[in-house]
Amino acid sequence: MDTPHIEAPRQMPPQAPGMGRRPGRLWSLEVVGAKDLNPRMRRVTLTGGDLDELTYKPGQDLVLQMPLPDGTTGRRHYTIRHFDPAAKLLDIDFVLHGDSPSGNWALAARPGDRIEAMGPRGRVVLNPEADWHLFTGDETCIPGILGMVEILPSYAHAWAFVEIADATDKQPVESKARLNFEWIERKGAPAGPSELMLNRVKAFTPPPGRGHAYLIGETSNVRAQRHDLMARGLAKEQIAAEGYWRPGRLGGHDHIEERPA
Ligand SMILES: Cc1cc2nc3c(=O)[nH]c(=O)nc-3n(C[C@H](O)[C@H](O)[C@H](O)COP(=O)(O)OP(=O)(O)OC[C@H]3O[C@@H](n4cnc5c(N)ncnc54)[C@H](O)[C@@H]3O)c2cc1C
């Protein structure tokens, strides 16, 4: 059954209850269509009356007010994969990681369904000043990493390592840059804390110049990679890191800082 269309205020007040620290604009979105990109990734296309006013940087996300089984809603972060302001269309790609509110919502999404979103937000965006770029993440980061490599200029030099379950998760990669893109398959291991990406990062030799690393994905994996790169001389200003999920956590995100000694 369609949910009723609730007219939302155009700007959330600061510290609005349940809406987090950063105020942002609220968007009332409507599903236009949905399709499977592969067995574990489903794209939902959304529209909104004022969506042509959205501005964002690839890598940024919206906080969706996801319907929960108990009838309330919970915050879930999802990256803006594509946006066409003229058509007022926005794509969000959902990883289907099991029985979860967001995956179930994406699987059931039908034209006319509605969802509220806030944002855009997020600091893991391209640093145009960097001499080289390193992107790492798991399948939840494919929308962000593909979005960022797509806007790299032709003179940019970049590496992207993306952890996936198996080859069926691969997607076409487009970039004008000198891009070394690697899909790293888990080969039957579950998603989550592991040394797979850490080992790949350890084998990466930063080229000369001042680079920028974009480390996203499961929180403990991101933290370990950040620690390794800082131990090898990268300054914290050269690393944008965010935990996208972790076992047992429902929605939200983790700021990644060095653990106290
Ligand atoms: C800035 C940002 C951008 C993001 N962009 C995307 C995106 O574009 N596409 C996308 O699919 N995800 C993205 N994520 C990750 C997504 O928000 C989380 O995976 C979220 O927890 C999914 O909500 P859910 O309702 O499916 O599961 P939840 O109700 O949050 O969690 C249910 C259970 O599933 C576990 N879980 C959550 N995610 C995963 C996973 N990926 N694999 C295995 N177990 C998991 C949880 O630990 C929990 O135990 C992003 C996260 C952040 C912070």
Question: Domain of 199: which CATH number?
Answer: 3.40.50.80
Q: Are residues 149 and 208 in the same domain?
A: yes
Question: Domain of 97: which CATH number?
Answer: 2.40.30.10
Q: Are residues 147 and 177 in the same domain?
A: yes
Atom in ligand 1 nearest the alpha carbon of residue 251: 30
- Is 158 within a domain? yes
Q: How far is the CA of 181 from the centre of ligand 1 (A)?
A: 23
Distance CA 214, CA 201 (A): 12
Task: Supply the pLDDT for residue 22.
Answer: 54
76 Cβ closer than 6 Å to some ligand 1 atom: yes
- Is 6 within a domain? no
The domain total for the chain is 2
| Encoded tokens for 231 | 């131990």
Task: Supply the pLDDT for residue 259.
Answer: 52
Q: Are residues 83 and 171 in the same domain?
A: no
- Is 141 within a domain? yes
Q: Which of 37, 44, 73, 140 has most ligand 1 atoms within 8 Å of CB, for mutation? A: 140
Q: How far is the CA of 245 from the centre of ligand 1 (A)?
A: 5
Atom in ligand 1 nearest the alpha carbon of residue 66: 25
Domain boundary among 67, 89, 121: 121
Q: Are residues 33 and 77 in the same domain?
A: yes
Instruction: Provide the residue range defining the domain that includes 63.
Output: 26-121
Q: How far is the CA of 258 from the centre of ligand 1 (A)?
A: 23
Distance CA 29, CA 171 (A): 26
190 Cβ closer than 6 Å to some ligand 1 atom: no
- Is 21 within a domain? no
Distance CA 53, CA 252 (A): 25
Q: How far is the CA of 215 from the centre of ligand 1 (A)?
A: 16
Per-residue pLDDT of the chain (261 residues; tens, 9 = 90+): 333 333 333 333 333 333 344 557 999 999 999 999 999 999 999 999 999 999 999 999 999 999 999 999 999 999 999 999 999 999 999 999 999 999 999 999 999 999 999 999 999 999 999 999 999 999 999 999 999 999 999 999 999 999 999 999 999 999 999 999 999 999 989 999 999 999 999 999 999 999 999 999 999 999 999 999 999 999 999 999 999 999 999 998 998 875 543
- Is 58 within a domain? yes
